[in-house]
Structures are given as structure tokens and as C-alpha cells.
Amino acid sequence: MVVRDTLFASAISALNTIRARSLFDRLPNNLIVTLLSFDEYGKEKQRKTIQGEKPKKFVRFEDFKNRALTSIFRENDGFVNCTPAYHFQNPSGRHTGRFMRLSNALVSQAELSFFAFCALSFIPEEVKVIYIDTPALFSLIGSINDHLSGLNSKRHLLADNFRSYDFFKPPRFEFTRKDDALILISASSSGSLLRELIKREPTLSPQKIVHVVFLGKKAASHTSICNLQYDVDSNQDGYECDNGDFKAGSCPLCLEGSIAISLQGDQFDIAGPQPQSFLVTKADAPAGLSETIQRLANNEIFGISIGNPAENGCREFHVDPQKLNLSSKFKDRLRYILSRSIPAKVSCIVCADEASSSLADEVVKTLNKQNQPRIIGRNDLRSEAQAMVNEAVIICALVVESGRSLLDISRDLRSSYPLAPQIYIVGIIKSESDDRLKSLRATLVQTSHAQPHEFAQVEKILLPVSSPTNAWAKELLLLRRISRTPSLASHANALKDLKAREQILSKTSIPVVNQLFLPNIAGKELKLQQGFVFWPTKLSSGPHSQGDVFFTIASVLQALRSNSGKPGSRALISSRLQHTLLAPSNFGRFNDGIIQASFLRAARPHELNYASSLDDSREMQRVARRILVDSSFPRGEAAAEILIALATRHLNLCAEHLTELLAPVDSAPEIVQVLLAFCRLQLLEKQP
């Protein structure tokens, strides 16, 4: 037991009271209780055995303090540890799987007071001020001053925070006093902060720099109040030095797919989402995408719906069921699946919706004339009487997105056809990820019977969940605002063309297939050049729709988003720890206007928010400006699309880059000039 020397006598009296003695009576007889006192320099002054025989061997005062501090640090989880998904990048730039946060260990008044007592022996008499690297140590300095006051010392320490590695950033902290100062560094495993301080401030004395806690192989060369390293004799609660400190370019944790999370500030706070640029490559396309598009392209199957699905039933990523049925390659694959999956006897065919009746007709054609099952709708199942038959039930769904309708049918079938095998025939399924599709399939085929049910799809494509607030819905609102802007009234021809565009988008019940993007010149639609990396060569040079191109890019980006939970995978990530931006160089690599427009429309706003990265914003400004200047030529086809993305806040740049980007382009087509003027009005003049 340790007390200030001024309290030694009163502590002995307190320990000899009846209440204290009754406590000692509960302790083992062979337990030795010793009272020690310390002076203002942390040195032992007096020692007295309170219980048991006087020990033959004395524990060294310094070893006792180090062991106790290590125990406090361990019990209070002084280490912040990584997970398999992420590790840490220290302000020094080095990577580590864990870091020490002393504030985690200083959680109770008694333990804080003990840390302060241990620090006294490291504070020479001439020290009047202590510079600390984190505000968490202000409480430690306060507790040290409490001890000095209680010991009737004439000393009182001042303190100031030099802000750890932020010391090296402007405005620089000034060490105004050095001769009578001591520097306290809260925690270290390498001594790198000490070395940087000496390098930047050569007049600082290394002997006047002390680590509160230290764990590392170079501990002997650094002064520390608590050495956390394990020692079989003197510190059995200590930690092994695991060399978990790596250079940024050779970090094994990074190679395993772990994300490096930056630590910032003088308290080693975890930084907010860190922007990282991502360059899309051919290998990022989901498996089978090229073959799927090759089979379905040039049939006007893929389009965009602007309306609300709850009101008109159309989805943002619209697959036309009638056009799908007209595709010869789709029909060939469907017939093969039906020949393989449909049994000789079928008791009932359930249509997920009206469009799926064509699938039911194909099923009937597969069956012999003696077996003509009933065809019912999904809503009819609820009124069906329980049929204790064991012939198969076929569930037909031509176009599936979330799969909720199939799950509803599955639930109803458990009541109406409990003994019947279920066979799900799906024309095309739009899924967020392969994992989501596997989960849906596993749920639908699950049964308590001898064999699982069956699920077969003709085609699949990875796509985001449809949303009514998509890029086209935002464009429609933008066009209406432009038409009501008085300062643009002089551009009559361009406003007429934009009004025609507005009318196309206003027909929310009619999906858009070949007018997805706004051209710089009315009637001059964006077209794909030969050599689209995600398509076979013959397809990119042959007939196709704008919807085919857009769906391809949307699928590639969605596949990258679905990889975000897979360590080591190339992925588009948006979390509290990491933020992936589509690198501006994507718009140089994919330099067809229709592909650039597809990226702008398919990306999510946070993936185009270059305002979070000064370098990326500057590069995007350079790329976009070049497209605007060349807007009268094929290489600048996406100029109007870039301006729409800016005006709708789908694309964001740093404020300092907008003025140069939005400067007038006298040679630009009139539509581009109108959009430029509107963007200047909204983004530079900050009009509501």
C-alpha cells in the first residue's frame, strides 16, 4: 500500500482501527501487508509491515511501480486492436495492427493518481513546465500537482499541449521554454515522435523527453515511466513485442486485404471516410455479363423508367417483358430449361404477374396434351382450398427484381399445396449481388421433404435496386427549373429543344430506351464506337440501344459495390472508414461520350463527390473542361451530361475548381451554353 509521506502516520492509525483489522482478519494468515510512503520526487521514504511477518526479500520500488502500471493498462484495455477488415495508419505514416491510447487506461481517479505518483521520479527539481502530446495528459499533470501540493512542495507544474504529430503542421507550436521544461509523450512503440522532435527542434534535450508508456524492442534507449514489455521476473503482465509496425509500402496486413484507417490529431482519433480513387478495368465486370448482353442486345429490352413504381409499376432499371419474349436467344435458352426442369405431371401453374403468363404458356407447350394444368395468378393462391396432391407446382416469373413476390408465393404454397414439389422458372432476375441471389434461391428451394424444390433462371444481371429518385428524375426537375429562369429566355432554340426533352421524360409510364442521354445538339444522339471493352467486338460495332450500354456500366459498378464486404477484393466502398471515388481518369480511359454519360448516370453521388479530395477535384476539373471545350466535336459528346450532373449535384467538385470549369465556351452548341449559364447561376452565384 502506497501513500504520500505526509499521510504515512495517519495511514498507520487508520489501518489499526477495529474496522481495518476486521478486514485483515479475512485475509490469509501468510499474506504480508506493507505500507510505503513517497516524497515529491517519487522516492521511497518510509516502509512499515502492517500485517504478517517482516518480509525477508523486498520488492524493488521501481519494479513494483512498473508491474502495477502494466496491470492497470491491461485491465483497462489500453490497446485499440484492429479487426480482419481494417488496421491503422499512425500519423507517422506507419501501419500497425494496434495502437496504444493512454486515455483508455486513465479511467479512474485512484489509477490516475497512481500513474501520477509513478511519474514524480521522472520530473527533475528544475522542471517548471511540462509539454504534453495529447490533451488526455492534462488530467495526469493535474494529479501530479495534487501530489506535490499534498506533499507540501513549493513546486507547481504548468502544462501545454504540442499536439503530437500535428506539431509538424502549420501553425507550428512554439516551445517557448526549454531549460526548465520536460516533454511527456503518452505512448509509443518505436520512439518515432521523439526522433522527429529532436530532428525539428535540435535544442531539445533527449534526456528531457519521457514516454508515459512504451512497448518496443528499443525500450532500453528510451526513458519511459512504464515499460510494457513482458519479463518473466519483473513484469509477467507485460506484452510481447510483436513487430506489428510496418512501412506503408510493405505492410502484410494490406496484402491480406485489410484496409488502412488513418489516425489523426493528438488523440489518435480515427479519421472520417478516406477518399480513394478507383480505376475501373475490364476484369471488374461480373462473370457472364458480356455473354448476357450479347444475347439480349439490339432487342430494346433494357430501358429506364422515371416514374414511381408504386404508382405505375415501372422500375428504374426496366426490362421490357414483351421484348424479352421476342428474343430468339432467350426463347432457345428457356426451352432448354423447361425441357430439363418440367416433370411429366403438373398440378398447377402460378403466374407471379400478368407478364409472366407467357412463361406459363411455354410450360404448357412442354407438357403432353393429357396434362393441362390450371393457370392461376399469385393472388388466387390465398383463396385456394388445400390440395393434398403431390404433382409439381410450377411458379413462373418473367422478370424478378427483389424476389419478394416469389417469397410470398412460397409462403402461400405451404398452405395450399403442402405436398407438392415446387419448380420456380424465372426469365431474368435483376439482383444486387450474387450473394443476394444465392440467399433467395436457398430460401425458395428449402423444404422438409426428401428433395429440395427447384429454381432455374434463364438470364441474370447484377443491378442496383431501382429508385424513383434517379438521375433522370433529377434531370426532369432541372429542365423545369431551366424553363422558368428569366435570364436564359434569349436562347429560344435551345429552350425549345430542352422542352422537347422534358416532354420525353414526363411520360413516366413509358420507359426510355434510346434517348437516355441529352445530346449537345438536338437529334444527334450519343453512339458507341467500336471497341467497348465490356462487349464482344462484333456487338459494339453492330446494332444496340443506349439502354444496352447503360445497363452494362450499371452492372459493372454494382458488381464492384457488392464486393465491398469481401477482404482483398476490388470494390467500391462507402463506409464510415473508407470512401471510394471513381477516378477522374475513368473518363479518359472510357472516352466515348455514351460511356462517359453512362458512368455519370449509373454512379452514386458519393462516388462522384470530388469535393472530398482536392487532387481528384482538380483532375476532374481538367478532364471535364476539356470535354466542354470540345463539345462541338465527337470527343466532347458528354458535355451536356457533365453539366446536368453538376447542376443536379450528382457530380461535385471543390469550390475553387468550379469557376475555371464553368467559364463560357463561345464555340459550344447552344444547349451546352444554356447549361453552362445555368450552372454558373446556381453554383457560382449561389441562386436558390
Using CA atoms, how far apart are residues 293 and 535, in angstroms rounded to an integer?
Answer: 8
pLDDT of residue 601 exceeding 90, the answer is yes
pLDDT of residue 229 exceeding 70, the answer is yes
Residue 19: domain span: 2-58
Write out the DSSP string of 156-197. Answer: --EEEE--GGGGGSSSPP-----TTEEEEEEEESS-HHHHHH
| Any domain includes 448 | yes
pLDDT level of residue 271 (50, 70, 90 thresholds):
low
What burial class does residue 250 get, using C-beta atoms within 10 Å of its C-beta: 0-12 exposed, 13-18 middle, 19+ buried? exposed
pLDDT level of residue 81 (50, 70, 90 thresholds):
confident
Using CA atoms, how far apart are residues 303 and 483, in angstroms rounded to an integer?
Answer: 26
C-alpha torsion 318→557→504→482, nearest 10: 150
Query: Which of the listed residues 462, 485, 508 is the one where a domain comes to its end?
Result: 462
CATH number at residue 142: 3.40.50
| Any domain includes 632 | yes
User: Which of 182-191, 425-434, 669-678 is least confident?
Assistant: 182-191
Q: Omega of the bond prior to 171 within 30 degrees of 0, cis? A: yes
pLDDT of residue 308 exceeding 70, the answer is no
| Residues 354 and 424 occupy one common structural domain | yes
pLDDT of residue 253 exceeding 90, the answer is no
Please give the pLDDT value at position 260. 81
- Kindly report the length of the chain: 688
User: Which of 20-24, 310-314, 602-606 is least confident?
Assistant: 310-314
Q: Are 374 and 422 in contact (CB under 8 A)?
A: no
Q: Are 549 and 267 in contact (CB under 8 A)?
A: no
Please give the pLDDT value at position 467. 80
Distance of alpha carbon 79 from the chain centroid: 24
pLDDT of residue 472 exceeding 70, the answer is yes
pLDDT level of residue 542 (50, 70, 90 thresholds):
confident
Please give the pLDDT value at position 41. 95
Whole-model pTM?
0.70
| Residues 222 and 185 occupy one common structural domain | yes
Query: Which of the listed residues 412, 443, 462 is the one where a domain comes to its end?
Result: 462
Tell me the pLDDT tens digit for each residue of 479-515: 999 999 999 999 999 999 999 999 999 987 789 999 9
Query: At CB < 8 A and 24+ separation, what contacts does 156-161 make?
Result: 157/123, 157/127, 157/128, 157/129, 157/130, 158/128, 158/129, 158/130, 159/129, 159/130, 159/131, 159/132, 160/129, 160/131, 160/132, 161/131, 161/132, 161/133, 161/134, 161/135, 161/137, 161/266
Query: Which of the listed residues 247, 270, 293 is the one where a domain comes to its end?
Result: 270
Using CA atoms, how far apart are residues 584 and 599, in angstroms rounded to an integer?
Answer: 11
pLDDT level of residue 266 (50, 70, 90 thresholds):
low
| Any domain includes 307 | no
| Any domain includes 113 | yes
pLDDT, mean of residues 187-197: 89
Domains identified in the chain, total number: 4
Question: Phi then psi for 263, rounded to 5 degrees?
Answer: -100, 140
Using CA atoms, how far apart are residues 254 and 259, in angstroms rounded to an integer?
Answer: 6
| Any domain includes 523 | yes
pLDDT level of residue 249 (50, 70, 90 thresholds):
confident
| Residues 504 and 409 occupy one common structural domain | no
pLDDT of residue 377 exceeding 90, the answer is yes
Percent of the chain clearing pLDDT 70 (strictly above): 96
Using CA atoms, how far apart are residues 455 and 431, in angstroms rounded to an integer?
Answer: 15
| Residues 225 and 330 occupy one common structural domain | no
Tell me the pLDDT tens digit for each residue of 166-191: 888 888 888 999 899 999 999 988 88
Name which residue leads in pLDDT, 170 or 375: 375
Please give the pLDDT value at position 285. 95
Using CA atoms, how far apart are residues 138 and 420, in angstroms rounded to an integer?
Answer: 73
Dmax over CA atoms of the chain, in Å, equals 109
pLDDT, mean of residues 273-284: 88
CB atoms within 10 A of CB 413: 19
Please give the pLDDT value at position 559. 96
| Residues 263 and 354 occupy one common structural domain | no
| Any domain includes 309 | no
Axis crossing angle, helix 434-445 with helix 404-416, rounded to the nearest 10: 10
| Residues 131 and 236 occupy one common structural domain | yes
| Residues 445 and 489 occupy one common structural domain | no
Please give the pLDDT value at position 85. 66
Q: How far is CA 22 from CA 15, 71, 114, 535, in A?
A: 10, 28, 26, 86
| Residues 556 and 589 occupy one common structural domain | yes
Query: At CB < 8 A and 24+ separation, what contacts does 402-406 make?
Result: 402/465, 403/429, 403/431, 403/440, 403/444, 405/352, 405/353, 405/378, 406/352, 406/440, 406/444
| Any domain includes 217 | yes
pLDDT of residue 688 exceeding 80, the answer is no
Candidates 548, 521, 541, 556; CA nearest to 634 is 521
pLDDT of residue 687 exceeding 80, the answer is no
| Residues 41 and 117 occupy one common structural domain | no
Please give the pLDDT value at position 32. 87
Residue 204's Cβ-side half-sphere holds a number of Cα atoms within 13 Å equal to 22
| Residues 599 and 529 occupy one common structural domain | yes
Strand partners, 580: 276
Strand partners, 302: 319
Please give the pLDDT value at position 117. 96
Candidates 465, 469, 424; CA nearest to 447 is 424
Strand partners, 454: 423
| Any domain includes 155 | yes
Percent of the chain clearing pLDDT 90 (strictly above): 66
Question: Cβ contacts of residue 211 below 8 Å, gap of 6+?
Answer: 184, 185, 186, 187, 188, 191, 194, 222, 223, 224, 225
Sheet architecture: strand order including 95-96: 245-246, 95-96, 86-89, 259-264, 269-270
Cell reading at 671: 444547349
| Residues 39 and 116 occupy one common structural domain | no
Q: What's the Rg (C-alpha) of the chain?
A: 36
Using CA atoms, how far apart are residues 224 and 351, in angstroms rounded to an integer?
Answer: 75
Q: Are 66 and 226 in contact (CB under 8 A)?
A: yes
Write down the mean pLDDT value for the chain.
90
pLDDT level of residue 58 (50, 70, 90 thresholds):
confident
Write out the DSSP string of 262-304. Answer: EEETTTTEEPSPEEEEE---GGGSPTTHHHHHHHHTTS--EEE
One-letter amino acid of 596: Q
CATH number at residue 328: 3.40.50.2020
Candidates 436, 72, 36, 70; CA nearest to 235 is 70
Distance of alpha carbon 454 from the chain centroid: 36
| Residues 477 and 620 occupy one common structural domain | yes
Write out the DSSP string of 444-493. Answer: HH--SSSS--EEEEEEEEE-PPP-SSSHHHHHHHHHHHHHT-GGGTT-HH
